[in-house]
Amino acid sequence: MKTTQKLTLALAAAAFLLIGTGSANAQKFGYLNSQELLSSMPETDSVQTQVADLGKELESQFKAMQAEMTTKAQDLQSNLSTLSETVRKQKEKDLFDLQTRLEEFQQSAQQEIQTKQMTLLKPVMEKAQAAITKVAKEQGLTAVFDLAAGGIAYYNESQMVNMLPLVKQSLGIQ
């Protein structure tokens, strides 16, 4: 009987030690919404303004090309009966070429806007990441989940640290 009591006591002590060790090494996790963080950073406003300005410039050029095409199409339509076949074919070819240039311009303009946005956002994103890393280390967190990326399906908010206010404070954002 004494060996059973000793065994039970030893198992209880081991369980207590394991539970105690587990809670001493409890991992802390944090979460934030990176999109909310980026949109609250003042640098993002500057990026959006520069991208919008580029978009307006490219849209203006595109509209000028469209107006040229409309003018040429109307000219062809109104003079169709008086044009020789050779001149008509050349004007139709010019219209087709202009349409192709418009499509190519539109595609390259979209690509240019995306590239400019990514180039301008890169330092802002790096600054945000540095602040997230700094605050996570200060808080002793094991991991931080980004809710904007949809990286987790469930989280118990009461057992996690919302990093957004802390990172905003670190960046000096109200």
Q: What is the pLDDT of residues 70-111, one digit of tens each?
A: 999 999 999 888 989 999 999 999 999 999 999 999 999 999
Q: What is the pLDDT of residues 30-67, one digit of tens each?
A: 888 989 999 999 999 999 999 999 999 999 999 999 99
CA-CA distance, 3 to 79, in Å (whole number)? Answer: 112
Q: What is the pLDDT of residues 5-35, one digit of tens each?
A: 443 333 333 333 334 444 445 788 888 898 9
Residue extents of the structural domains in the chain:
2-171
CB 32 within 8 A of CB 164: yes
CB 171 within 8 A of CB 38: no
Q: What Å distances lie between residue 1 and 5, 6, 7, 11, 151, CA to CA?
A: 6, 9, 10, 15, 54
